[in-house]
Amino acid sequence: MSKNALVILLVVACALLPLVLQLLGQRQVYWLFVVSELFILAIVAVSLDLLMGRSGQISLGHSGFVALGAYSSAILNERFGVDLFVGALAGGSLAALASLVLGFPATRLRGHYLGIVTLGFGIAVDQIALKWDALTGGDQGIHLHKPVLLGLDVATPVRMYYVALVALVVVVLLVWRLTGTRVGRAFAAIKDSEVAAAAMGVPVARTKVLAFICSAFLAGIAGGIYAFLAGFVAPEDFGIDSSLLYFAMVIIGGMGSIPGAIGGAVVVDAVKNAAATVSGLSLAILGGMIVLVVLFFPGGLKALLRRHPAARTSVAERRSVAVAQDA
Partner 1 sequence: MLEAHHVTVRFGGLVAVSDLDLVVPDRGVFALVGPNGAGKTTLINALSRVCPVAEGTIRLDGTDILGLLPHQAVRAGIARSFQRAELFPTLTVLENLLVGLHAQMTTGLEGALMTPATRAEEKAARSRAERLLRELDLWELRNASPADLPYGHQKLLDVARALISEPKLLLLDEPFAGLTDAESPRLLACIAAAGKRCAVLMIEHHFELLEGIAERMTVMNFGRKIAEGTPAQVRADPEVVRCYLGTGRAKVAEAATC
Partner 2 sequence: MTLYLLQICLAGLAQGSLFALAALGLVVIFNASTVVNFAHGAMGMAATYVAYVLITSFQVPFALAFAGAIVAAFVLGVVVQKFLLGRLQGAPVLTQIVVTLGLFMFLEGILGLAFGYNPRPMAAPITMGPVTLGGLVLRPQDVVQLGVLLVLCVALAALFGATKVGLGMRAITENPYAARLMGIPVGRVLAMAWGIGVLLAAVAAMLAAPTTSITPNMMDTIVVYAFVAAILGGFGSLIGALIGGLVLGVVVNLIAAFLAPELAMSIVFGLLLLVLYVKPDGLFGRAMVQKV
Going by C-alpha positions, the residue among 322, 198, 265 that lies closest to residue 41 is: 265
Going by C-alpha positions, the residue among 319, 166, 156, 172 that lies closest to residue 260 is: 172
Task: Give the nearer residue to partner 2 in terms of CB position, either 5 or 295.
Answer: 295
Task: Give the nearer residue to partner 2 in terms of CB position, either 75 or 244.
Answer: 244
**How far, CA to CA in Å, does 22 sit from each of 29, 38, 159, 171?**
10, 19, 14, 28
How far apart are CB 116 and partner 2 at their closest, in Å?
5
Task: Give the nearer residue to partner 2 in terms of CB position, either 28 or 243.
Answer: 243
Q: End-to-end alpha-carbon separation of the chain, Å? A: 42
Judge contact between 54 and 232, C-beta under 8 A.
no
Per DSSP, 237 falls in state: G
Binding site for partner 1 (CB under 8 A): 54, 174-175, 177-178, 180-186, 188-189, 191-193, 195-204, 210, 214, 256, 312-313, 315-316, 319-320, 323
How far apart are CB 89 and partner 1 at their closest, in Å?
15
How far apart are CB 21 and partner 2 at their closest, in Å?
32
Out of partner 1, partner 2, none, which partner does residue 120 contact, by CB within 5 to 8 A per kind? partner 2
DSSP code string of 111-164: HHHHHHHHHHHHHHHHHHHHH-HHHH-GGG-EE----EETTEE--SHHHHHHHH
Binding site for partner 2 (CB under 8 A): 52, 56, 58, 60, 101, 104-105, 108-113, 115-117, 119-121, 123-124, 127-128, 130-131, 195, 240, 244, 247-248, 251, 278-291, 293-295, 298, 321-327
Task: Give the nearer residue to partner 1 in terms of CB position, either 20 or 174.
Answer: 174
Out of partner 2, partner 1, none, which partner does residue 198 contact, by CB within 5 to 8 A per kind? partner 1
E strands, the chain, where? 142-143, 148-149, 152-153, 232-233
Task: Give the nearer residue to partner 2 in terms of CB position, either 139 or 153.
Answer: 139
How far apart are CB 114 and partner 2 at their closest, in Å?
10
